Amino acid sequence: MYACATEGPFPAQCVAASVESRWPWSVVLGRVDSRPRPQGTATEPDERLVIDTSDSTGESRSPADATVAELGEFAVIDRAVSGRDQPDTTLLGPGDDAAVVRATDGRVVVSSDMLVQGRHFRLDWSAPEQIGRKAVAQNGADIASMGAWPTAFLVSLGCPPDTPVAVLDALTDGIWSEAEGLGAGVVGGDTVQSDQIVLSITVLGDLRGRDAVLRSTAGAGDQVAVAGRLGWSAAGLAVLAAGLDGHAEVVAAHRVPEPPYGSGPVAAEAGATSMTDVSDGLLADLGHICAASGVRMDLDPAALEPDQVLRAAADELGDDADAWVLTGGEDHALAATFPPGVELPDGWRRIGVVLNDTDVRGGASAAVGAGVLVGGRERTGAAGWESFGRNRSR
Ligand SMILES: Nc1ncnc2c1ncn2[C@@H]1O[C@H](COP(=O)(O)OP(=O)(O)OP(=O)(O)O)[C@@H](O)[C@H]1O
Ligand SMILES: Cc1ncc(C[n+]2csc(CCOP(=O)(O)O)c2C)c(N)n1
Ligand SMILES: [Mg+2]
């Protein structure tokens, strides 16, 4: 299905063979009618969309072989939303000016995160389907880290006009399949032209009657624990950046993180006192908890030993597996604090303790990662990823 072009904006595995060449044929949009359907649940692909994709020889081509500009905004949107299932919480899905989503407990958890081509993904490193999954996963992890379940996603997409429709189809498939795996709907979004692919996702979540678990409520003496993988995404990124073959597990982890979504609500139920997801790096993200809660933590190096998979990649690259565990972002593991003496729920492992300090200076002005000690010591160097480069580790 995918051809390996080496140049142009859609290289390698991302370009459908049929869109590799220029267009010898014309795509003529006949009648495009994307009126909203009375709906909320499944819709069928729009049969009213008539596309004449025959070339001069009369040979017929699929719309998937066109570019976004050739198909047009509304046909592109129609391809992204038609024929998809919605969960019961979606009362009105895509098609109107806004969606309507059921919020049973009277509150909605809401968050958003974006992926920018070149900055967060490369089309020669990840297939569009993987990028779609990753965008949904990182948003779903933010909801899990509040102790909630994702219910609905809104997908705002910017892309260049020459983006192959096949790329958007695959991106859409990734988005919908990750959302579906969470029992959540894709209920709307926006599609605009931009110089590169930008994917901004907003997620809604349901606390199911529980209080949200905040960053600001860790207490002295609490246990520090994590659920999920640490350092795998950073290792995968390093493997891709070095152009190394092999190490498929970490490369896969970089392309599509697997946040332990269910561990968020489970932690909330077990009485977690604070929680966050690890997007920028363990030290950086625990540092946000320290700053918000006005506490310091001490992590146990023995509990943060890189596993064999990381060691193998680090050995071959001459890289630092400890740094991947401590400062590597994008695994979207969950990190939380639990009261002393509470038995950690399944999936959680203890990695340290909140110190019994008093008078700890926190707040937004604290340096990233400040307050997080490893083996009793402040670690030097970057604590994780920062969007505008300060303290950036890679
Ligand atoms: N431009 C903005 N306007 C309003 N609030 C913002 C803006 N950017 C970020 N925030 C808010 O600031 C807080 C921290 O944002 P940040 O993006 O660091 O967290 P995150 O999404 O959990 O991490 P990451 O983006 O690394 O996954 C969040 O509450 C977020 O909603
Ligand atoms: C091509 C490419 N280069 C570098 C990275 C690494 N990276 C980008 S953003 C981020 C953390 C979260 O950032 P944000 O706060 O912007 O969400 C990390 C670790 C990548 N994924 N792809
Ligand atoms: Mg964010």
Q: How much is the pLDDT for 320?
A: 96
C-beta of 126 in contact with ligand 2 (< 6 A): no
Q: How much is the pLDDT for 170?
A: 97
Which residues form the domain of 93? 2-206
CA dihedral 149, 151, 154, 159 (to 10 degrees): 60
When divided into structural domains, the chain yields a total of 2
The residues facing 94 across adjacent strands are 96
Same domain, 286 and 367: yes
What does the pLDDT average to over 86-111? 95
Residues 283-340 pLDDT 10s: 999 999 999 999 999 999 999 999 999 999 999 999 999 999 999 999 999 999 999 9
Last residue of a domain, one of 206, 238, 254: 206
Same domain, 140 and 247: no
Q: Which of 280, 330, 387 gets mutated to test ligand 1 (max ligand atoms within 8 A of its CB)?
A: 280
Domain with 318 in it: what CATH number?
A: 3.90.650.10
Same domain, 198 and 325: no
Q: How much is the pLDDT for 55?
A: 52
Looking at per-residue pLDDT, the higher value among 3 and 240 belongs to 240
Taking CA atoms, 139 is separated from 114, 183, 278, 279, 377, in Å, by: 9, 14, 12, 10, 33
Same domain, 275 and 304: yes
Task: Tell which residue, 255, 228, 230, has the closest CA to residue 135.
Answer: 255
Asked whether the predicted pLDDT for residue 32 surpasses 90, the reply is no
Task: Tell which residue, 17, 233, 279, 3, has the closest CA to residue 124.
Answer: 3
Looking at per-residue pLDDT, the higher value among 29 and 218 belongs to 218
Cα separation of 112 and 140, whole Å? 9
Same domain, 160 and 34: yes
Cα separation of 221 and 370, whole Å? 18
Same domain, 76 and 115: yes
Taking CA atoms, 300 is separated from 171, 199, 270, 376, in Å, by: 40, 37, 22, 8
pLDDT category of residue 27 using cuts at 50, 70 and 90: very low
In a domain, 211, yes or no: no
Residue with tokens 């678990």: 213
C-beta of 385 in contact with ligand 2 (< 6 A): yes
C-beta of 329 in contact with ligand 2 (< 6 A): yes
Same domain, 196 and 239: no
Residues 42-56 pLDDT 10s: 333 333 333 444 555
In a domain, 386, yes or no: no
In a domain, 384, yes or no: no
Atom nearest to 138 CA in ligand 1:
27
Same domain, 199 and 260: no
Residues 324-378 pLDDT 10s: 999 999 999 999 999 999 999 999 999 999 999 865 665 566 677 789 999 999 8
CA of 112 to the centre of ligand 3 (A): 6
In a domain, 338, yes or no: yes
Report which protein residue has its CA nearest ligand 2's atom 6. 120
CA of 127 to the centre of ligand 1 (A): 26
How many Cα neighbours within 13 Å face the side chain of 197?
26
Cα separation of 107 and 207, whole Å? 8
Task: Tell which residue, 276, 281, 236, has the closest CA to residue 381.
Answer: 281
Same domain, 246 and 185: no
C-beta of 280 in contact with ligand 2 (< 6 A): yes
In a domain, 13, yes or no: yes
Ion ligand 3 residues within 5 Å by Cβ? 113
Same domain, 104 and 21: yes
Task: Tell which residue, 145, 150, 158, has the closest CA to residue 114.
Answer: 158
CA of 111 to the centre of ligand 1 (A): 8
Domain with 185 in it: what CATH number?
A: 3.30.1330.10
Q: How much is the pLDDT for 57?
A: 61
Last residue of a domain, one of 206, 240, 262: 206
Same domain, 18 and 91: yes
Dihedrals phi, psi of 387, to nearest 5 degrees: -55, -35
User: Is the CB of residue 295 less than 8 Å from the CB of residue 360?
Assistant: yes
Concatenating the DSSP letter of every residue in 192-242 gives: EE-SS-EEEEEEEEE-TTSPPPPSTT--TTPEEEEES-SSHHHHHHHHHHH
Ligand nearest to the CA of residue 386, numbered in listed order: 2
What does the pLDDT average to over 265-287? 98
Q: Which DSSP category does 147 fall into?
A: T
Task: Give the orientation angle of helix 232-242 with respect to helix 248-255, to 10 degrees.
Answer: 110
Same domain, 102 and 251: no
In a domain, 387, yes or no: no
User: For the CA atoms of the chain, what is the radius of gyration?
Assistant: 23
Cα separation of 288 and 290, whole Å? 5
In a domain, 36, yes or no: yes
Structure tokens at 220: 């002295």
Cα separation of 41 and 85, whole Å? 6
Dihedrals phi, psi of 117, to nearest 5 degrees: -55, 135
Atom nearest to 254 CA in ligand 2:
21
In a domain, 27, yes or no: yes
Atom nearest to 329 CA in ligand 2:
19
Q: How much is the pLDDT for 359?
A: 57
